[in-house]
Structure 1
């Protein structure tokens, strides 16, 4: 019975750490090096983009979308460009129209840019990464690295290792 409880507690610790790592991966900024190829604006409500199959049934808002292409692999990606306002995660972004104007300028000049974003791209849920900022990359310059995320990943790996050792110590010392 003790072995089952020990492995159950380790499984709980693993689950907790997976959730924490997922939260950091979603909410902390990441960076992509890309070329902007186009953009559009869609009117959406709580159910997603408004269309014949999804008529407006509540308050609506405009959401900007930015279409990009990776310069090396030619893989395309769509980003959402929406204000976070005062909500979670705390980016306090109120300038999505200005970011969209910058994206349009970069698209016209076909410049390589760094996109700072948060979130995940899940195509079957129609979920896109949200752009926080766009910056032009100089010739030979590479994208930034998400160092705070790396620090948190290392911290969570350490706390998982220590929590497993603690649980093992509780059960092994009682023998």
Structure 2
């Protein structure tokens, strides 16, 4: 049972951790090198990684999506999709796709004369599945060594930690005040039933012994 318990909690941690890693905002310092628009098919299971804004039907099989091409500070390429999230999950309430695309165009630069920007996004990049993180914000920064403090993530994760500790404390109190007394009471009754069964067994043995003794006489 110990292995089953650890396997269960491992799966829970992986699922929750993956959900948070996908949903919470991340920050990349990049150099924008281009933008483009491309029609994307939404006919397979990877549709879950594309936004479904409120102003677009969930029955669409394809649509035009805007992209932002960038180079990270370490020289590796990165491509972001630029889609509205609307009022749906995750709750970024993004309605300014056109504005963000214009800001990205304005920050274009070359390796010889770089302009650095921090792109705030959520999601993952996977070339094999054609999955792109969704950019939700972009702003210029002084250089590639600027330190970005993820205040939103700190607040959300801190709040989740406090909530988990609160639920754990409430569960422990509930267990101590309600469940454990019931278990102790049930154990006491079980012991009492066991004592009664032993007493009845002793009486039955004595009665049988007396009957056997009388029969021998």
The gaps in structure 2 that reach 5 residues or longer are 45-58, 173-217
Determine helix, strand or coil for the equivalent of 1:123. Answer: coil
Give, in angstroms, the shift of residue 141 of structure 1: 6.4
Aligned partner (choices 68, 71, 87) of residue 70 of structure 2: 68
User: What is the number of equivalent residue pairs in this alignment?
Assistant: 147
Runs of 4+ in 1 over 6 A off after TM superposition: none
C-alpha contact 1:79 1:131 (8 A) present in aligned 2 = yes
Name 1:91's counterpart in structure 2: 92
C-alpha contact 2:85 2:92 (8 A) present in aligned 1 = yes
The 5-angstrom pairing of residues 80-159 of structure 1 reads: 80-107=81-108, 110-139=114-143, 142-149=146-153, 152=157, 155=161
Please give the alpha-carbon distance, in whole angstroms, between the structure 1 residues aligned to 2:125 and 2:69.
Answer: 13
Distance 1:62 1:143, change over 3 A: farther
Determine helix, strand or coil for the equivalent of 1:84. Answer: coil
The gaps in structure 1 that reach 5 residues or longer are 49-56, 167-175
Please give the alpha-carbon distance, in whole angstroms, between the structure 2 residues aligned to 1:58 and 1:87.
Answer: 16
Q: Which has the higher strand share?
A: 1
Please give the alpha-carbon distance, in whole angstroms, between the structure 1 residues aligned to 2:37 and 2:128.
Answer: 20
Name 2:201's counterpart in structure 1: none
Name 1:173's counterpart in structure 2: none
Name 1:53's counterpart in structure 2: none
Determine helix, strand or coil for the equivalent of 2:148. Answer: coil
C-alpha contact 2:116 2:144 (8 A) present in aligned 1 = no
Determine helix, strand or coil for the equivalent of 1:122. Answer: coil
| TM-score, L = length of structure 2 | 0.59
| TM-score, L = length of structure 1 | 0.73
